[in-house]
Structure 1
């Protein structure tokens, strides 16, 4: 059984991150970060497992000379970076992966790896866009040699896109259009959500309008893929409310059709504060999120889109944060294997969930003083007792680890 660490026991370990060329992501920041949108510094991060047992972290960041932005800066400038590590060595040597020649922003970076070992990276992109923004992408092999070189265009006018792999296919799920007013800080919302499917070398196979029309405003689409289908998840604007409907659907990329039509999972989700993961050992999707009353929830959903189990009154989850996941032997019934899922929770700490085919249970809550940010976090298990996270901030990429005892 897990136990939490005391404040004077083993704590978060901080590691220096060294960037190549002109980028230094650890710096002494001057200014009032609380007055700024921290996405202007860094935004969007995924950790992918590689076929050789190592991992690669991929994220968007501005270069050091642009980190100290003034509140009047209107244009963001992000490049996409990558850094590999392993269970035995987490010493990072970040490298530039994608950059536009006119210093426009490629963010938030979203990445996925196919079963045959190809990596797609997609981002919202202003470079050469005819309609202010476009959803663009590139595909690499595991040595990060180009297969479909940047800049590939998924949709001119697309934005806020994310990618997942379904076996050897990639699905990019993105928003299109913008409606002023409402949403966070009354900045408005996206209008429609669409997707495109590609093979593992980046050739387009199909397109589908998931939720398009004048009767609703849909945006911030995310997704997760099993070997057969993708679960699509997004938020829908609700008039005169400060929270959103959480919508979901099941997509079959082979047939290019929705197996489950869009449906509201709940009506009270905090804007942007939700996540979906596929858990292969139990063959279930796990949806988590935070309600308007600042409590968390979790849903277990099968590949047909049916809700198998739900859990409420969880700690609040962190916006744009993904969990560390590992297969774990059930202590009560040793012949059964569960997925142990460790999520960052707001404002600090972690929650440990155990998930099997039919239920979700909370195992432990871990406390720590570090305050998570909302711009991108992901984690892995380095071994059965060590949880390791990368998280973005106005000061650069940070590494944190927890040693968890059974």
Structure 2
């Protein structure tokens, strides 16, 4: 029975009602809230080939999305759609991977040789309700080590990043009922596996094994992967946000640190900023206010923006030079100016489409224009941003009033 057993994880976010019914009991005992709109679409990412052609990958229950079936099972396939900066909109999407049961949320990464790894939680043909699976392809999506390959049977919630020529998949395993959002439970540990450019397993790393820590996110630099995840806090409605640096060349794991002690569950993202040689993490605290940190490849925080508008769950961060852009929970796009030792909220602008917690990704049209792709229960929505039209950040945005 595929009802996203181990992703039973959302409460009252942008498009997800807080008034869930008791939910569907799944084979491993966890629950998925009835009415969870991720049943329509969930997970999006993009890669770009040497010609400048971007491929957007997303998971959807058909186009237009149908949602859960009559048996309440989720039935996402993985779709791809091409885009170039000369196009107004994405090309017509096509199915890339399709099996019975759901393949979602899709996560993708491209290594320095152009190879692409695709990973997702898969409900098809697995003895453990779900399995974290992957495939490796060329930049034009020709088979190298194609799906289906198991990261781990029973694994879930995985995301992938490229580090040089290698790939790192960061995933969770197992489920513990109770606690967390709407008392639906938590994962039971986070783990990483590294792969070469052909998709061959190199190393396995226990990051936080057999603990109530889960929802692993990841970003890659030329030499390290930044691992970001949440830790359950008993009898509280917030989590702790934790990080560690992984060196996939030798499998060494750096110091594990808490960078936000009171996190709104699931509401964080990370990416690498090449121009300043830093990772950026954005998140929303339990009070609804946002925060951002820059982290170097030793795992040290080099800059902190302690307060800004809250960010949107599962939304991407798009980098243009020394600027970062990400959606805000109040319907705007945030503009952040970065140096190796500073983060400044310089401006905001309203979004022409409503953000969703199902996933979104920004594509760079030029130094002054972004194209944003948003997953919604009714299908893809696309938005164009003229970055020169931003308004300066207000005192309220900067939390100085």
Structures share fold, TM-score greater than 0.5 = yes
Structure 1 position 80 matched with structure 2 position 81: no
Q: How far 1:33 moved relative to its partner?
A: 7.6
- The structural deviation recorded for 1:299 is 0.4
- 1:309-324 counterparts in 2 under 5 A? 309-324=303-318
- CA change 1:207–1:402 in 2 (3 A) is same
How far apart in 2 are the matches of 1:319 and 1:346? 9
Tell me, yes or no, if the aligned pair for 2:177 and 2:185 is still in contact at 8 Å: yes
1:238 aligns with 2:233: yes
* TM-score of the two chains, using structure 1 as the length reference: 0.85
Q: Whole-Å Cα distance in 2 between the matches of residues 396 and 155 of structure 1?
A: 30
State the match for 1:364 in structure 2: 347
Which whole-Å CA distance do the structure 1 matches of 2:353 and 2:52 have between them? 29
Within 5 Å, which residues of 2 pair with 1:205-216?
205-213=202-210, 216=211
Higher RCO (C-alpha under 8 Å, 6+ residues apart): 1
- State the partner residue of 2:258: 264
Structure 1 pair 263–185 and aligned structure 2 pair: CA distance change class (3 A): same
Task: Write the deviation string for residues 366-393 of structure 1: whole angstroms up to 9, x where unpaired.
Answer: 1246331101011022012211101101
- C-alpha displacement of 1:404: 2.3
> What is the Cα-based RMSD across aligned positions, in Å?
1.6
Q: CA deviation at 1:69?
A: 4.1
Match of 1:405, SS state, is: helix
The reply to whether residue 278 of structure 1 matches residue 272 of structure 2 is yes
1:282 to 1:68, Cα distance in 2 relative to 1, 3 A: closer
Q: Which region of structure 1 is more displaced relative to structure 2, 45-54 or 276-285?
A: 45-54
The equivalent residue for 2:396 is: none
Q: What are the ranges of 5 or more consecutive residues in structure 1 without an aligned counterpart? A: 1-31, 328-338
**Consecutive aligned runs of 4 or more in structure 1 exceeding 4 Å deviation:** 32-35
Q: Does 1:108 align with 2:105?
A: yes
CA distance in 2, matches of 1:223, 1:308: 19
Change (3 A) 1:46 1:157: same
CA separation in 2, counterparts of 1:60 and 1:151? Answer: 16
In 2, the alpha carbon distance for the partners of 1:359 and 1:66 equals 42
Provide the C-alpha distance between the structure 2 equivalents of 1:230 and 1:324, rounded to a whole number of angstroms.
Answer: 18
**Given the two structures, how large is their TM-score scaled by the length of structure 2?**
0.86
